[in-house]
Amino acid sequence: MGLIFIDSCLIIYAFEDHPRHGHQVRQALARENPELLAISPLVTLECLVGPLRAGSLALLNHYERGLRQFETLSMPDEVYLHAARLRARFGLKTPDALHLATATVHGCSALWTADDRLQRAAGSLACNVLAGPAGAGP
């Protein structure tokens, strides 16, 4: 299996111990080879907004340490061009189009998300780790 791109919402659920989803996401991440888990600079940006807005230095430090465990995929011009095509075709929001474009351009074997719209646009690349045993989870 190749790289697995992790959507921001799943990182946030795991790192902030979301009451319904935190444990499930952490379990899914723990089952995978950590060297295959990837994010982008956009994921980092999205994850750090909450702690910065709240002024929580402890949570900010938790994210900064934790995000280092993932491979960070670059976002060259090709990613932005592909994201524009995805936005035009599927009506995705810019961040979602950039997540999918990053995963696609880097040849990831999966994009883990809990976002239904992103999942529909990503097709077989998407994996909803919150879907449970009957879903497309890992």
Which domains are seen in the chain, by residue range? Answer: 4-128 (3.40.50.1010)
Q: Tell me whether residue 54 is exposed, middle or buried, using C-beta atoms within 10 angstroms of its C-beta: 0 to 12, 13 to 18, 19 or more.
A: exposed
Output phi, psi for 110, to 5 deg: -155, 155
Please, are residues 115 and 9 in contact by the beta-carbon 8 Å criterion? yes
Joined tokens for residue 83: 């994201």
Report how far residue 121's alpha carbon sits from residue 74's, in angstroms, rounded to the nearest whole number.
Answer: 21
Mean pLDDT of the residues in the chain: 93
Residue burial 61-73, b: 16+ Cβ < 10 Å; e: rest: eebeeebeebeeb
pTM: 0.92
Report how far residue 97's alpha carbon sits from residue 5's, in angstroms, rounded to the nearest whole number.
Answer: 13
Please, are residues 5 and 115 in contact by the beta-carbon 8 Å criterion? no
Q: Which of 13, 37, 29, 19 is nearest to 106 (CA)?
A: 37
- pLDDT, tens digit, 9 for 90 and up, residues 68-126: 999 999 999 999 999 999 999 999 999 999 999 999 999 999 999 999 899 999 999 99
With pLDDT > 70 as the criterion, what percentage of the chain qualifies? Answer: 94
Please, are residues 100 and 43 in contact by the beta-carbon 8 Å criterion? no
